[in-house]
Structure 1
Amino acid sequence: MWFQTNLTLPARNRGFHLITKEVLQALPEISQIQVGMLSVFIQHTSASLTINENASPDVRRDFERYFNQAVPDETSYFEHNYEGPDDMAAHIKSSQLGASLSIPIQNGKLALGTWQGIYLGEHRDRGGSRRLVVTAFGQGK
């Protein structure tokens, strides 16, 4: 079985945002898969996807502080700034975290750990809406 959809997320503020529910709502056919995989791919180079803590918003704020300190905007040796001072820093953060996730599906549900959720990392001050390609595949129930 194969299922695929495109999901457009609304524009969000810079930071890390839980999007697990939106991904699941976009592809309810996951419930038909006994054993399989979910692939989530973001079609952008200045935002990213990762999996981490789904309960405490402190974790998401700490992620943002860490990445802003590790890769600050307007770094003097960055040449690429066509879309503003956060442009190149956003590309580097996106590459560090990645553009895709693979999550096992078991018994019609994502096999995420108790405290795991899917994050959108928005690395631009004004990144706009974000497009995801969400694909589920596997053996049916």
Structure 2
Amino acid sequence: MIAKVVIETSGQGLMAITREINQLVADNCSGDGLCTLFIRHTSASLLVQENYDISAQRDLEAWLNRLVPEGDALYSHTLEGADDMPAHINAMLTAVSIGIPIIDGQLALGVWQGVYLWEHRHGRQRREIIVHFSS
């Protein structure tokens, strides 16, 4: 089964999407299988990360922003602003697709794991995630 999830972002940062994905799994899967997520964009990404302490998310965001700074004079791809090329690099360094096992109709995430959309652009965006369930 394939579904599409649309997420409206309000700017740069990690957005928890575990609830939306869990609901899709609950509505469509009763046994074991695999949930594959694919984001259809080149300036956002997906990841599984700690969901307990928000400081971990803030530290990840700050670290990536230091690693790939905006305004680097070496960037030539700046058509959509200072965050354009850094957003593409950040998406390249992270992941556009992830797979999560499904056990007994539930995502097999660890206790402190959550699923996140990582928006790498400053402005509001409409992001599409394709969700594929296989058993």
Give the TM-score normalised by the residue count of structure 2: 0.94
Distance in 2 (CA, whole Å) between partners of 1:110 and 1:31 is 10
1:13 corresponds to which residue?
11
Where do 1:1-141 residues align within 5 Å? 3-32=1-30, 34-138=31-135
How many residues are matched?
135
Query: C-alpha displacement at 1:37, in angstroms?
Result: 0.2
Query: C-alpha displacement at 1:59, in angstroms?
Result: 1.1
Distance in 1 (CA, whole Å) between partners of 2:129 and 2:29 is 20
Q: Sequence identity of aligned pairs in percent?
A: 37
Q: Structure 1 residues 16, 48: closer, same or farther in 2, change over 3 A?
A: same
Distance in 1 (CA, whole Å) between partners of 2:70 and 2:124 is 14
The AA in structure 2 aligned to 1:37 is L
Distance in 2 (CA, whole Å) between partners of 1:106 and 1:22 is 17
Query: Does the aligned pair in 1 maintain the 2:5–2:128 contact within 8 Å?
Result: yes
Query: Does the aligned pair in 1 maintain the 2:49–2:116 contact within 8 Å?
Result: yes
Deviations 1:31-69 (A, max 9, x none): 41x221000000000000011101111111111100000
The AA in structure 2 aligned to 1:132 is I
Distance in 1 (CA, whole Å) between partners of 2:57 and 2:63 is 10
Distance in 2 (CA, whole Å) between partners of 1:28 and 1:12 is 27
- Runs of 5+ consecutive residues of structure 2 not aligned to the other structure: none
SS of residue in 2 equivalent to 1:29: helix
Query: C-alpha displacement at 1:25, in angstroms?
Result: 2.4
